C-alpha cells in the first residue's frame, strides 16, 4: 500500500488525525519537499512529532527513480508525505498511476491546500479565480513569460489569478518573495508596453500564528515588508463590492479599493 499524506500549510500540527494515524501505522515513511515546503518545522521535528524515521526524497527520486518507492509499497505499508494537499502536484498523480500499474494499492489522505486557504484568508470569491501559475526566476537571463500571459488571459475574462512563487529544491536558495515576483511581472509589462497590473494581495506564512496578509496598489505592495517565506501573490480582476470590502477588513487594503 502506498498512502499519499498531505501535511497541510505550515508545521507538524497541520496534519489531519487520519494522516497522523496512517504515518504511525506505516512500515516506511518517505517525504518530499520540492513541490511544497513546511517552513515551520524541519525533518528532525517531523520525526520527533510523528515518532517515525523519515527518508527525504529529491525530485529525481520521485520523478525518475520511483521504483524505490513502489517496490517497498509492494511489500509494506508506505507513506509519502508532502506539504499541502498531495494531488495538487502532477508529479504525485504520475507516481500514483505508476504504482497502480505495478499492482500497488494507493490511498490519498488530503491536507489543507494553499490554493483554497489563500482565497479564504483574503476574502475573495473562489468561483472567480482562473488558472493559477508559478512565477519562476530567470534562467540563463531569460524570464519565463507564461505567468504574465496567464494573468492577462484571466483579467480578460474577469478572473482573479493566484501565483505561486519560485521554490528551489536547494534549501540554501531562499524562496522567491512577493517583491521579486512583482518585479518580474512589471518587467514583462514594461517590455510589452502594457498596463494591466493595478492591485495585488500578498500572503506570507499561511497557516502560522505569524501569518501576514496585505492588499494594496502594486507600487505600495512592492514596498511592504512581508517578512520570512513562504510568500504567495494574488492579482485580482474586477472586484465584487463584497470582495473589496473583505480586502479592506481582512487584508488591510486601502479604502480607495472600495471605489475601484
pLDDT of the residue at 97:
96
Q: Which burial class, exposed, middle or buried, applies to 99 when counting CB atoms under 10 A from its CB (0-12, 13-18, 19+)?
A: buried
Mind listing the pLDDT tens digit for each residue in 35-80?
898 999 999 999 999 999 999 999 999 999 999 999 999 999 999 9
Q: Given a cut of 70, is residue 171 above it in pLDDT?
A: no
Q: Do strands 78-82 and 2-6 pair parallel, antiparallel, or not at all (unpaired)?
A: parallel
Regarding whether 122 and 248 lie in a shared domain, the answer is yes
pLDDT band at 3 (very low <50, low <70, confident <90, very high): very high
The β-bridge partners of 31 are: 56, 81
Identify the CA nearest to 89 among candidates 55, 52, 107, 63: 63
Last-in-domain residue among 109, 129, 164: 109
Tally of structural domains, the chain: 2
Regarding whether 243 and 135 lie in a shared domain, the answer is yes
Angle at 99 between CA 97 and CA 104, to 5 degrees: 130
The β-bridge partners of 203 are: 213, 232
Handedness of CA 256, 128, 205, 225 (dihedral sign): negative
CA–CA distance, 102 with 115 (Å, rounded to integer): 31
Residues 6+ away with beta carbon under 8 Å from 25:
77
Mind listing the pLDDT tens digit for each residue in 91-120?
999 999 999 999 999 999 999 999 999 999
Regarding whether 137 and 93 lie in a shared domain, the answer is no
- The CATH number for 92's domain is 3.40.1010.10
Regarding whether 143 and 43 lie in a shared domain, the answer is no
Regarding whether 102 and 156 lie in a shared domain, the answer is no
State the chain's mean pLDDT as an integer.
95
pLDDT of the residue at 141:
79
pLDDT of the residue at 259:
81
Q: What is the pTM of this model?
A: 0.92
Q: Taking residues 204-225, what's their average pLDDT?
A: 97
Last-in-domain residue among 109, 131, 148: 109
Higher pLDDT, 135 or 89: 135
Stated as kind and residue range, the H or E segment containing 119 is helix 114-122
Last-in-domain residue among 88, 109, 130: 109
Regarding whether 149 and 125 lie in a shared domain, the answer is yes
Contact (Cβ atoms closer than 8 angstroms) between residue 118 and residue 200: no
Q: Given a cut of 70, is residue 216 above it in pLDDT?
A: yes
Q: Taking residues 166-194, what's their average pLDDT?
A: 91
Contact (Cβ atoms closer than 8 angstroms) between residue 200 and residue 2: no
Identify the CA nearest to 207 among candidates 232, 182, 225, 224: 232
pLDDT band at 139 (very low <50, low <70, confident <90, very high): confident
Regarding whether 102 and 134 lie in a shared domain, the answer is no
Of the CA atoms within 13 Å of residue 86, those in its CB half-sphere come to 23
Mind listing the pLDDT tens digit for each residue in 140-157?
778 899 999 999 999 999
Domain coverage including residue 59: 2-109
The β-bridge partners of 165 are: 135
Q: Do strands 55-57 and 28-32 pair parallel, antiparallel, or not at all (unpaired)?
A: parallel
Regarding whether 164 and 70 lie in a shared domain, the answer is no
Helix (H, G, I), strand (E, B) or coil at 145: coil
Q: Do strands 199-204 and 212-217 pair parallel, antiparallel, or not at all (unpaired)?
A: antiparallel
Q: Given a cut of 80, is residue 172 above it in pLDDT?
A: no
Stated as kind and residue range, the H or E segment containing 133 is strand 133-135
Regarding whether 138 and 76 lie in a shared domain, the answer is no
Most confident among 36-40, 135-139, 156-160 (mean pLDDT): 156-160
CA–CA distance, 61 with 32 (Å, rounded to integer): 9
Q: Taking residues 23-46, what's their average pLDDT?
A: 95
- The CATH number for 170's domain is 3.30.950.10
Regarding whether 127 and 237 lie in a shared domain, the answer is yes
Regarding whether 250 and 161 lie in a shared domain, the answer is yes
Regarding whether 68 and 12 lie in a shared domain, the answer is yes
Amino acid at each position: 500500500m502506498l498512502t499519499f499524506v498531505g501535511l497541510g500549510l505550515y508545521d507538524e500540527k497541520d496534519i489531519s488525525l487520519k494522516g497522523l494515524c496512517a504515518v504511525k501505522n506505516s512500515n516506511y515513511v518517505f517525504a518530499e519537499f520540492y513541490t511544497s515546503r513546511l517552513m515551520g518545522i524541519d525533518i528532525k521535528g517531523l520525526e520527533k512529532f510523528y515518532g517515525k524515521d523519515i527518508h527525504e526524497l529529491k525530485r529525481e527520486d520521485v520523478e525518475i527513480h520511483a521504483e524505490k518507492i513502489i517496490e517497498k509499497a509492494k511489500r509494506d505499508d508506505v507513506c509519502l508525505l508532502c506539504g499541502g494537499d498531495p494531488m495538487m502536484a502532477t508529479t504525485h498523480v504520475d507516481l500514483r498511476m505508476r504504482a497502480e500499474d505495478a499492482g500497488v494499492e494507493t490511498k490519498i489522505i488530503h491536507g489543507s491546500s494553499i490554493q483554497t486557504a489563500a482565497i479564504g484568508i483574503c476574502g475573495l470569491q473562489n468561483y472567480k479565480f482562473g488558472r493559477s501559475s508559478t512565477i519562476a526566476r530567470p534562467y540563463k537571463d531569460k524570464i519565463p513569460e507564461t505567468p504574465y500571459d496567464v494573468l492577462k488571459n484571466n483579467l480578460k475574462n474577469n478572473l482573479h489569478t493566484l501565483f505561486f512563487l519560485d521554490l528551489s529544491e536547494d534549501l540554501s536558495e531562499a524562496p522567491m518573495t512577493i517583491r521579486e515576483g512583482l518585479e518580474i511581472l512589471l518587467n514583462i509589462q514594461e517590455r510589452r508596453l502594457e498596463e494591466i497590473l493595478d492591485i495585488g494581495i500578498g500572503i506570507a506564512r499561511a497557516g502560522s500564528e505569524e501569518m501576514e496578509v496585505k492588499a494594496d496598489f502594486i507600487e505600495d505592495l512592492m514596498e511592504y515588508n512581508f517578512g520570512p517565506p513562504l510568500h504567495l501573490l494574488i492579482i485580482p480582476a474586477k472586484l465584487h463590492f463584497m470582495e473589496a470590502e473583505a480586502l479592506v477588513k481582512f487584508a488591510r487594503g486601502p479604502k480607495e479599493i472600495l471605489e475601484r
